Structure 1
Amino acid sequence: MLKKIRLLIIASILGLLALSLVQGYLINNSYKLKKDAFISETRRSISRIDDLAPSLDKMNDVWQDHFLNVIADYYIGKITKKVVLEKLNSTTDSLNNAYIKTYNKELLKKNIGYNLKFQKQVKKIILLDSVKNDTIFESKTKPSFRLLGDKFSIEDGHKVSSSLWMTDHNFQRIINGKENSITFDLQFQTEDRMNIEGWENIVLSRMTGLLLFSVFIFLLVFGLLYYSIKNLITQKKIADIKTDFVNNITHELKTPLATLTLATKMLKNKDIKLKPEIIENTVNTIERQNIRLQKLIDQVLNNSLGYQEIKLNKEVVNISDYLNMIVDDFQVSLDSKSIKIQKNININQEISIDKFYFTTAILNILENAVKYGKENLEINVSAKIDKYFILSILDNGIGIPKKEQPFLFDKFYRVGNREVHNVKGLGLGLYYTNEIVKAHEGIISVESEVDKGTNFTIQIPLK
């Protein structure tokens, strides 16, 4: 059964991992789709601003006219390619602040609802010739540069559109003292890019419902698996405890029943009937075994009570007198002289408790110390007052493993949880002790180490 539970846990973990991977894949795909949809939506909103706004169009005409004249100087060899680009940058830089302000005004009219930056990048400048084209600039061999707009890196932006400016230009220039009319064709390619501030958060906010639903589904599945496995383990534990209890109670009942059976047979024997002293001994044996059976039944019935069902009849007792009496009586009942009990309970103060129940709780702990003790067992009973009445019962017995300690006060639980124990018992003593302490609104705790001993501590309010 334990092997099956382990396999179930492993399968559940693998299932959760698979579910997590599938959910992660679907969320990632949804994120990409939302991102693409958001970028496309923004791109459509601003794609024609630069072309349709009259004020921006005029600025574009200014730098284009100036640039054509610069190209004319380059065409006749008066300046180099480097100077062409420098003059282009100088012209657009002088217009850029006004361009950005105007562009932002046009952007406000679109009522987009989030911060956006825009720039126009130069991709290619080519002089066309029927013999051989002259490439002044091309982004394939050199990094593209900003023509107009805000500053941001290419990696931080998204492409809006590409535009190609084609023109044939006629100009007059004096060459070798003569005025000549020269024509050239120009190809000027640009790319519009945008930078959306916090676009990741915007996309994620649009996925809030999906993310919350995914987390809810994951937590629900995880919770159901955890509850199912925990419930299965609890049911197995209860089944094992019940089996253990049945085996223990059966073992406890066999001896008195066997004795009663034998005594009954003896009473039926004709020879025995003629011997009154044997009959009397047999009757006494039957009476003792009957009392033993009754005690077993009472132990099961009474010690199974929960603390809510325990009706306390409190009375005020002197702590020192009460505890000394219990310990002294217990010590007198011990058969072994090798068990030593030390007391440190000199407290001249009173406390309100139910003497019958509280005495039962203390005796259960003392009896357990003796049952699970070892040679030269020493038990130390001490008490003190520190906001609470604190009773400590320490022994140097065999101790309790750490993994067993959380279950000590469970009903029918016995350390080791085996069907066969060296010590007789039903696993009800510590459970009942805990219920009695809780009925007194107190708490009981245990500290133990294997082969070093165990310390039970009871705390009861002073009222």
Structure 2
Amino acid sequence: MKRKINLLIIASILGLIALSIIQGYLVNNTYELKKKAFIRETTRSISKIDDFSSALDSLSDIWQEQFVNKLIDYKFNLVKKEDVIQGLELVIDSVNEAYISEYQKALVESNVPYGIRFHKKVRAIIITDSVKNDTLFHSKKGAKQIILGDNFSEDNSIGISTTNWQTDHDSNRVINGEAKEISFSLTFQSADEIDIAGWKKIVLKQMLGLLLLSLFIFATVIGLLYYSIKSLIKQKKIADIKTDFVNNITHELKTPLATLTLATKMLNNDNVKQQPLLVRNTINTIERQNKRLQKLIDQVLNNSLGYKEIQLNKETVDVKKYLDTVLDDFMLSITTKNLTLNRNFSILTNQLKLDKFFVTTALLNVLENAVKYSGDEIIINFNVESNTELKISITDNGIGISEKDKKQVFEKFFRVGNKEIHDVKGLGLGLYYTNQIIKAHNGNIRVLGKEGNGTTFILTLPFN
């Protein structure tokens, strides 16, 4: 059964991981689609600004005209290639501020709802004539860029279009008294890029409903899976407890039943009937075993009560006197082991209202456990502090308790150690019942200690 549960848990976890991957993939795909749709919509809104803005056209004509003149000088060998590029940068810088201002005005007039920065980035400048292709400029990542418009990081840029400006030029010049003529074709490649302020947040906001629904479904699946596995483990635990209880109570009932069977057979024996003393002893044995059986039945019935069902009959007691009486009676009951009981009282408040019967039962349950789970040489330290509350610490030198068992020690039918070994008698109800009694008094009980180093139970009762 345990192996099946482990396999079920592993299969559930693998299924959950697979579901997470699929859901993550679908959400990511939706994000990409939303992103593309958003960028496409924004691009459509601003795509015609360049074409329909006369102010932007005028500014473009200025730098283009000066740039072409510089190219003509270059073809006549009047300037170097570096001078052409430098001249282009200077003329772009001279009109850039005005270009940005006009573009932002055009965005406002187009009712674009987002904060947008725009620029044209020069990608390549190539001159072609009858002799050769001459590349004046080619954009490289990480190198200096020639940009008209806003300057922003490549990481935030969104490409919206590319442009190939191709024109043919003819020019005449008189150089050193000699008339010269040139012809060339200009290819000017540029890319239009934008940076939308907070575009990721905008896209995620559009997806908010889907994300919340996905998280809700995912959380629901995890919750149902957790609840199902927890319920299955709980059912298995209950089944194990029932099995252990049946085994334990069967073991406990065997001895008195065997004794009753033997005693009954003896009473039916004619020789025994002729001996009144033997008959009386046999009847006494039957009575004792009958009481033992009744005690086992009562223990099962009474110790199954919850703290809300326990009816308390409180009375005021002298704390030290009452506890001494309980300890004296306990010492008289231990005859098979060598027991040392150390008492330490620190009493400031000596009057307490409690139900003597139930509290005595709780204390004896803890003390008897100390005897059960110890060797032949038992040392119990019984410490009492009485100030604003009654605090009783019972420490033994027994086998101790593991961290795992600490979590279950107050559960019904739970027994520390191997439940198949019955050298320690009991039904696993004593500490459960003790816990219920202390709770009924509005107190608490906790357990300390390590496996192999003894155990300490701390019982606390309020003064009210």
TM range (shorter): over 0.9
**1:184 shift after superposition:** 4.3
2-side partners of 1:169 and 1:451: how far apart?
Answer: 99
Q: Which moved more, 1:383-392 or 1:208-217?
A: 208-217
1-side partners of 2:215 and 2:455: how far apart?
Answer: 46
Asked if 1:378 corresponds to 2:379, the answer is yes
2-side partners of 1:202 and 1:386: how far apart?
Answer: 64
1-side partners of 2:229 and 2:418: how far apart?
Answer: 21
Cα 1:91–1:386 shift into 2, 3 Å: farther
1-side partners of 2:282 and 2:240: how far apart?
Answer: 38
Q: Report 1:10-89 matches (<5 A).
A: 10-89=10-89
Cα 1:142–1:293 shift into 2, 3 Å: closer
Contact (CA 8 Å) 2:337, 2:377: kept in 1 or not? no
Contact (CA 8 Å) 2:127, 2:184: kept in 1 or not? yes
**1:262 shift after superposition:** 2.3
Cα 1:293–1:140 shift into 2, 3 Å: closer
Q: Report 1:92-103 matches (<5 A).
A: 92-103=92-103
Could you say which residue in structure 1 is the equivalent of 2:448?
447
Asked if 1:267 corresponds to 2:271, the answer is no
Q: Which moved more, 1:68-77 or 1:433-442?
A: 68-77
Could you say which residue in structure 1 is the equivalent of 2:315?
315
1-side partners of 2:368 and 2:340: how far apart?
Answer: 13
Residues 247-294 of structure 1, C-alpha deviation per residue, up to 9 Å, x if partnerless?
Answer: 111121122222222222332333333332222222222211111111
**1:460 shift after superposition:** 1.1
Could you say which residue in structure 2 is the equivalent of 1:392?
393
Contact (CA 8 Å) 1:398, 1:453: kept in 2 or not? yes
Q: Which moved more, 1:238-247 or 1:217-226?
A: 217-226
1-side partners of 2:98 and 2:206: how far apart?
Answer: 35
Asked if 1:276 corresponds to 2:272, the answer is no
The code of the aligned residue for 1:357 comes to F
The code of the aligned residue for 1:78 comes to L
Q: Report 1:344-383 matches (<5 A).
A: 344-347=344-347, 349-383=350-384
Which TM-score applies when normalising by structure 1? 0.94
Contact (CA 8 Å) 2:43, 2:160: kept in 1 or not? yes
**1:80 shift after superposition:** 1.6
The code of the aligned residue for 2:437 comes to I
Q: Which moved more, 1:84-93 or 1:251-260?
A: 251-260
**1:171 shift after superposition:** 4.3
Q: Percent identity among equivalent residues?
A: 56
Q: Which moved more, 1:162-171 or 1:360-369?
A: 162-171
The code of the aligned residue for 1:210 comes to L
The code of the aligned residue for 2:355 comes to D
**1:181 shift after superposition:** 6.4
Asked if 1:430 corresponds to 2:431, the answer is yes
Could you say which residue in structure 2 is the equivalent of 1:126?
126
Could you say which residue in structure 1 is the equivalent of 2:136?
136
Could you say which residue in structure 1 is the equivalent of 2:417?
416
**1:172 shift after superposition:** 4.6
Q: Secondary structure at the match of 2:307?
A: coil
Could you say which residue in structure 1 is the equivalent of 2:175?
175
**1:141 shift after superposition:** 11
**1:434 shift after superposition:** 0.2
2-side partners of 1:396 and 1:144: how far apart?
Answer: 80
Could you say which residue in structure 2 is the equivalent of 1:210?
210
Q: Secondary structure at the match of 2:272?
A: helix
Post-superposition, which runs of at least 4 consecutive aligned residues in structure 1 deviate over 6 A?
Answer: none
1-side partners of 2:342 and 2:260: how far apart?
Answer: 41
2-side partners of 1:133 and 1:3: how far apart?
Answer: 76
2-side partners of 1:154 and 1:346: how far apart?
Answer: 77
Residues 288-343 of structure 1, C-alpha deviation per residue, up to 9 Å, x if partnerless?
Answer: 11111111111111111000000111111111111111101111222146201111
Cα 1:369–1:133 shift into 2, 3 Å: closer
Residues 163-205 of structure 1, C-alpha deviation per residue, up to 9 Å, x if partnerless?
Answer: 2323334545323325666554433222111122332222222
Contact (CA 8 Å) 1:323, 1:345: kept in 2 or not? no
Could you say which residue in structure 1 is the equivalent of 2:343?
343
Residues 341-380 of structure 1, C-alpha deviation per residue, up to 9 Å, x if partnerless?
Answer: 1111252511111111111100111111111111220111
2-side partners of 1:77 and 1:43: how far apart?
Answer: 42
Could you say which residue in structure 2 is the equivalent of 1:257?
257
Cα 1:310–1:141 shift into 2, 3 Å: closer
Cα 1:386–1:25 shift into 2, 3 Å: farther
Cα 1:159–1:283 shift into 2, 3 Å: same
Q: Which moved more, 1:6-15 or 1:131-140?
A: 131-140
Contact (CA 8 Å) 2:410, 2:435: kept in 1 or not? yes
Q: Which moved more, 1:22-31 or 1:308-317?
A: 22-31
The code of the aligned residue for 1:308 comes to K
Q: Which moved more, 1:318-327 or 1:431-440?
A: 318-327
Q: Report 1:160-239 matches (<5 A).
A: 160-177=160-177, 184-239=184-239
**1:210 shift after superposition:** 2.5
2-side partners of 1:74 and 1:57: how far apart?
Answer: 25
Q: Secondary structure at the match of 2:163?
A: strand
Q: Which runs of 5+ in 2 are unaligned?
A: none
**1:63 shift after superposition:** 1.5
Cα 1:144–1:159 shift into 2, 3 Å: farther
Q: Secondary structure at the match of 1:345?
A: strand
Could you say which residue in structure 1 is the equivalent of 2:299?
299
2-side partners of 1:112 and 1:413: how far apart?
Answer: 71
1-side partners of 2:62 and 2:102: how far apart?
Answer: 15
2-side partners of 1:51 and 1:57: how far apart?
Answer: 8
Contact (CA 8 Å) 2:401, 2:450: kept in 1 or not? yes
Which TM-score applies when normalising by structure 2? 0.94
1-side partners of 2:388 and 2:110: how far apart?
Answer: 72
The code of the aligned residue for 1:296 comes to L
Residues 113-152 of structure 1, C-alpha deviation per residue, up to 9 Å, x if partnerless?
Answer: 3222111111232333244343333337995733410112
The code of the aligned residue for 1:373 comes to S
2-side partners of 1:142 and 1:227: how far apart?
Answer: 55
2-side partners of 1:259 and 1:69: how far apart?
Answer: 124
Q: Which moved more, 1:395-404 or 1:95-104?
A: 395-404
2-side partners of 1:118 and 1:223: how far apart?
Answer: 48
1-side partners of 2:239 and 2:279: how far apart?
Answer: 44
1-side partners of 2:4 and 2:310: how far apart?
Answer: 40
**1:417 shift after superposition:** 4.8
Cα 1:71–1:270 shift into 2, 3 Å: same
2-side partners of 1:144 and 1:159: how far apart?
Answer: 18
2-side partners of 1:8 and 1:142: how far apart?
Answer: 54
